[in-house]
Every structure is written in structure tokens, then in C-alpha cells.
């Protein structure tokens, strides 16, 4: 298994973030929030560099797109979480890809996103995916992963699940 590495794209915050609502501001850094899908409350603490950009309390009745704690990454490209150390469990467990695919030379050439969507520029891998792997029924995640790894290996590719 390979370790998940975030690319700071912000897609997770844009998707799951719609379900994170600020219920009450406690201090200039602390908020009671609700994760709407599970209706769970959590305490969010805005970290140091983001304190001047604390999230505004959303106006009642107006929709808010994405997580109110998603900010431009202060130390580089992309986006960052202003409450990273106190983010809810769903955010801690989120992986935007579930498997990396490597060619025979060991170079990353594809990623499996979501349940079974391939992202690649490798036309051979794309053909193998469409003809051999996409038709594999997804009933048991562990069994499916093994079948995908085995199918890739026949063509000299290596699939490595993300932990």
C-alpha cells in the first residue's frame, strides 16, 4: 500500500464542505459546527496563520458552497484546511483516489478515483481499463482490488492501493 498524498486541490472541501455548517462562534478561533450527513457536532479550532481570515457565520437561508474553513494554501499552491487538526472524522478519512497505477518502469501513470473511475493519459491503460477492468462487478471492495491488481499485472502494470 502507498500512503495517500494530498495535492491540495480542494475538491474534498468543495464536496463534503457543503455539509459542514457553523452553528455558533465561541471565540475568535473556536466554533461549534455540525456535519450535516451524520448530524454530528464537533469543535473546530482555527489554526494560527488563518486567524485573521476566520470564516464568517453564514447568513441564514443563503447557501454556502464548500467548506467554510477552506482557504488558499498560505505556503504554496492550492487550498488548505484552516481547522486541519480539529477537522471532522469524515475529512480525516477522505481519499480522493483509492489506487495508484504504475507502468513497468515504476512511473505513476494512472489513479483510480472514487469507486472505479480511471484517471490517466496512458491510452493503453485506458483501453485495458475499458475492456478488462471496468466490467468487473464491484461487490466486495477487497476482492475487487485484488482482481484489479491481478488484471493490471497481466499487462505489466502495478496497482498499489492507498492506505
In SS3 terms, 22-83 reads as EEEECCCCEEEEEECCCCEEEEEECCHHHHHHCCCCCCCCCCCCCCCCEEECCCCCCEEECC
Examine the fold and report which residue of 93, 116, 135 is the final residue of a domain before the chain moves on.
93
Q: CA-CA distance, 150 to 143, in Å (whole number)? A: 11
Q: Is residue 155 domain-shared with residue 125, that is, in the same domain?
A: yes
| Segment 93-121 mean pLDDT | 86
Domain that holds residue 79: 11-93
Same domain, 89 and 16: yes
**Does residue 1 lie within any of the structural domains?**
no
pLDDT at 136 over 80: yes
Q: Are 86 and 42 in contact (CB under 8 A)?
A: yes
**Same domain flag for 62 and 42:** yes
Return the CA Rg of the chain: 19
Percent of the chain with pLDDT over 70: 87
In this prediction, residues 138-159 reach a mean pLDDT of 91
Least-confidence region, from 24-38, 51-65, 83-97? 51-65
Q: How many CB atoms lie within 10 A of CB 33?
A: 23
Same domain, 76 and 110: no
**Is the pLDDT assigned to residue 153 strictly greater than 50?**
yes
Q: Are residues 106 and 89 part of one domain?
A: no
20 vs 61: which has the higher pLDDT: 20
Number of domains in the chain: 2
Task: Please give the pLDDT value at position 28.
Answer: 83
7 versus 26: which is more confidently predicted? 26
Phi and psi, residue 113, nearest 5°: -105, 145
Amino acid at each position: 500500500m502507498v500512503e495517500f498524498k494530498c495535492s491540495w486541490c480542494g475538491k474534498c472541501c468543495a464536496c463534503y464542505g457543503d455539509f459542514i455548517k457553523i452553528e455558533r462562534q465561541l471565540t475568535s478561533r473556536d466554533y461549534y459546527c455540525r456535519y450535516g450527513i451524520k448530524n454530528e457536532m464537533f469543535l473546530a479550532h482555527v489554526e494560527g496563520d488563518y486567524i485573521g481570515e476566520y470564516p464568517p457565520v453564514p447568513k441564514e437561508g443563503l447557501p454556502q458552497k464548500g467548506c467554510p474553513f477552506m482557504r488558499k494554501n498560505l505556503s504554496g499552491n492550492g487550498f488548505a484546511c484552516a481547522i486541519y487538526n480539529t477537522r471532522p472524522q469524515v475529512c480525516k478519512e477522505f481519499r480522493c483516489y483509492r489506487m495508484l497505477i504504475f507502468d513497468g518502469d515504476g512511473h505513476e501513470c494512472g489513479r483510480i478515483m472514487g469507486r472505479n473511475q480511471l484517471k490517466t493519459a496512458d491510452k493503453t491503460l485506458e483501453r485495458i481499463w475499458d475492456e478488462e477492468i471496468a466490467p468487473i462487478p464491484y461487490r466486495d471492495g477487497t476482492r475487487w482490488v485484488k482482481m484489479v491488481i491481478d488484471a493490471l499485472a497481466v499487462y505489466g502494470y502495478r496497482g498499489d492501493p492507498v492506505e
